[in-house]
Structure 1
Amino acid sequence: MLKTPIARGVALATLGATLAIPSMAQAEFIKDSKAGLELRNFYFNRDFREDAGQSKREEWAQGFLLRYESGFTEGTVGFGVDAMGLLGVKLDGGDGTAGSDLLPADGSGGSQDEYSHITYAAKARVSKSTLKVGDLQLKNMAIASSDGRLLPQTFQGGQITSMEVDGLTLDAGYLNRVNNRNSTNNEVMTLSNRGSARTPNASGILSTGGAANESDDFRYLGGSYKVMDNLTASYYYSKLEDMYKQHSFNLVHVLPLADKQSLKTDVRYARSKDDGSTNVDNKAFGAMATYSLSGHSFGLGYQQMKGDTGFAYVGGTDPFLVNYVQIGHFGNQEEKSWQARYDYNFASIGIPGLTFMTRYLTGDNVDRGAQSDGKEWERNTDIAYIFQDGALKNLGVRWRNATMRSNFARDIDENRLIVSYTLPLL
């Protein structure tokens, strides 16, 4: 049922593009449609704890995310469309404190007052297989769109997922452009963690043969299989043309121990090699064990890099690493790192919607050539509350705090305050 005039407008606009479809086929297309407007207010403050260069990045902005997902038309092959309208508006900051990735740069050291773009993707479904072509938000072992700022990162390309066999999910895709979190343009992709011959970084990744750090071809193929009810195995192969190729493996096991108790084990391994124009050579191992008791969760993680470089991934995305956290990823050349984490869900004591998380990570043994080994540590705290009822129902408030110290990168103190509200339209 259409609930609001805005919802009717979204549905009618979509119908206008599907007039050629018989009315009976349109029934499921409209009936299964979903639409919502998310309001995201984001304050970001990063203090570099030094006077040299830009000592602080501080911005405050308001985001509007209108999402629409249609159902599928009836028939052997069902067709549909997904779309997003995205708008970011500066509220404060940017003059001398730009660079938070909330807003695009204005070319003079500040940030733009506003930016917007529209994404859309056509989709088709046959049985339990779905093809999407257009603008995509992705989340798998090979590539994960970042949504850690005002507006989400999207990619241009195609993706097919299949669940024809019970317990088995297959996933394949081709991407040629990226629209980053603070951008309105679809651009070629880059290799993250990359330095240059003159300015190498702790990852040790360099270009060879003078090739530019750009690629318009990313491909992946993989999937996951539910071996048992409590054990899932996954594998992905991916390649960023000319930059790197990667094999990724993952095992997740959940062991029930007693009433409201369990032990979750998450093991990850990735092998990355160059694809002609870089020196990428990395073996990344990570494991995280989490013991849960009622509302409490206690986690311990370990991550180790081996090879001539650090971990390779597409620039701006969230790398599939156990120790990828608020600021750092602890995936530098030869780095070894540990993580201790604690979570608490206050619903266990009658306060649903309130959650708390804190973690501490320490890494060392970073290969910096002739310089001493690199060391770093990071501490995160995350407190969030979603109102459960009343006039503020579904309003979410989140405070994220981080401290990072390193002998090879800038020291950072960081705070993020995020207030969000999603209004269902369909």
Structure 2
Amino acid sequence: MKLAKLSLAAIVVAGLASHSFAADSLADAFKNGKVTGELRAWYFDRDTDVPAAAGGAWDRKKGDANIINMGVILNYVTDSFYGLKMGATFQSNYAPFADDEAKALFYNDMYGSGAVLSEMYVQYTIDKTTAKVGRQFINTPLIAGSGSRMIRQSFEGALITNTNLPDTTLAAGYISKWQNRTSPDTTAKKSDVGEFERFNDDGAYTLLAINKSIPGLTITGQWAQVVDVADVYYAELAYAGKMNDFRYGLAGQYLITDYDESGKDDGSFYGIKASFGIGAFNMYVAYAEVDDDNDASVSADVGGADPIYTANVIHSGEYKAGSKGYAIDANYEVVKGAKIGARYSDINMKAAKSDYDVIDLYANYTFDGPLKGFGVEVQYETKDKDASTGSSNELRFRANYKF
């Protein structure tokens, strides 16, 4: 016990000795903290070409509706005090003009008024190791919170990262709860802002390694386990190079889902991607295929992660057994801060005996000068499916002011 106490003391002393203290006292750490925020006004218009069920049944895949959302994000992070930081982020969402059709169609992703404390964490850094405990946003290939809706998904747990090895990032984490975009009650036909709920019964674990020892090459490997459900393994090799003004890249990914449930087959997919760019122009071509040997869909994420290369701009990629397809994306920076682009994907779903193609158009502009901090974004997606599944299209407009 005495040896353990001495070892702990040595670690703390070593950590303190390695820090340059930004704040001289705990009071200064709070006083010198940084506040940032964002004001949002978003408009979504969704047309599924499939009539909603009689009685306005809640089914976000059916019906036509539009919704206007407004929200505020406030973030506060203390200054560092002996390697210790604290942070908090509030997210809010309000849709006061939503009609019954909008509530029914968007209940699972956009309609849910209220506010939520999405981040509330304590972070401690010693040497090149950082431990972050509490509510937090996470962005990794397999565990990630999507920010495509008004409320970004968040997690509650612990994440440790280390960069002691040259050109290498290692991470380990545990997730006990997560917060989705909304918390719907389909029986009462109402929806509130997302709340933190237990993630599975025993949570999820993950290990992550990223190595950049070879110039231009990024090697990523991650394991995630949803306890008593599945183990997911992900690997990616991505190379990026440059020849004068010409940029090029080649990447490959592979994922395996090993289900724990008795009688449920495992699933996997692979993807390849080639990218090119010159000046303000960029494009890529990607292909992905999901294994169909066992007729098992792939569970590719914890939360809202969507790692497959052929994912659409608005909707997620296809992970059903036997699915395969390609995507082509091209974009151009018209002027500094202004970009326009288009993406086309063609997907064949063998298991569902269905084909569809998707056309995405997108543009964004970030203002400078007197309007610095203000930005707008427009996305339009049309999905042309066969007669059995119907078609759909969606328009999204976002106006944001960051301060």
Distance of 1:104 and 1:151 partners within structure 2: 8
Q: 2:333 aligns with which of 336, 345, 359?
A: 345
For residues 57 and 282 of structure 1, do their structure 2 counterparts lie closer, same or farther at Cα, with a shift above 3 Å needed? Answer: farther
DSSP 3-state at the match of 1:97: helix
- Alignment of 1:188 with 2:198, yes or no, is yes
The answer to whether the 8 A contact 2:64-2:105 is kept is no
Q: Which residue of 1 aligns with 2:143?
A: 143
Q: Which amino acid aligns with 2:339?
A: T
Alignment of 1:22-421 (within 5 A): 24-26=24-26, 29=29, 33-53=33-53, 54-74=62-82, 78-99=83-104, 101=106, 111=111, 114-118=113-117, 119-182=119-182, 183-189=193-199, 214-257=200-243, 259-276=244-261, 279-307=264-292, 308=294, 309-314=296-301, 316-325=303-312, 326-346=314-334, 351-368=335-352, 373-390=353-370, 392-407=371-386, 409-421=389-401
Structure 2: segments with no counterpart, 5+ residues? 1-20, 54-61, 183-192
Q: TM-score, normalised by structure 2?
A: 0.83
1:99–1:126: structure 2 CA closer, same or farther, 3 Å change rule? farther
CA shift for structure 1 position 72: 2.1
AA in 1 matched with 2:156:
Q
How many residues in Structure 1 have an aligned counterpart in Structure 2?
Answer: 360
Q: Could you tell me the TM-score, scaled by structure 1's length? A: 0.79
Task: Indicate the larger mover: 316-325 or 398-407.
Answer: 316-325
Task: Indicate the larger mover: 224-233 or 52-61.
Answer: 52-61
Deviation at 1:264, TM superposition (A): 1.3
Instruction: Quote how far apart the aligned CAs of 1:278 are.
Output: 7.1
State the Cα deviation string for residues 233-285 of structure 1 (Å, max 9, x = none).
0101111112211110011101212x221111121111111023672521110
Q: 1:181 to 1:237 in 2, by over 3 A?
A: same
How far 1:315 moved relative to its partner?
A: 6.4
Match of 1:195 in 2: none
CA contact (8 A) 2:63 2:105 kept: no
CA gap of 1:222–1:278, structure 2 versus 1, over 3 A, is farther
* Structure 1 residues 274-320: Cα deviation after superposition (integer angstroms, max 9, x where no partner): 02367252111011111001111121100000042122034650221
Distance 2:104 2:249 in 1: 38
Shift of 1:58: 2.0
Counterpart CA distance in 2 for 1:215 and 1:278 is: 21
Letter in 2 for 1:139: N
Question: Residue 342 and residue 385 in structure 1: after superposition, are their counterparts in 2 closer, same or farther (change >3 A)?
Answer: same
* Structure 2 residue identity aligned to 1:305: V
Q: Quick one: percent identity of the two aligned structures?
A: 19
Q: CA RMSD in A?
A: 2.4
Letter of the 1:322 counterpart: Y
**SS at structure 1 position matched to 2:94:** strand
What SS is found at the alignment partner of 1:187?
A: strand
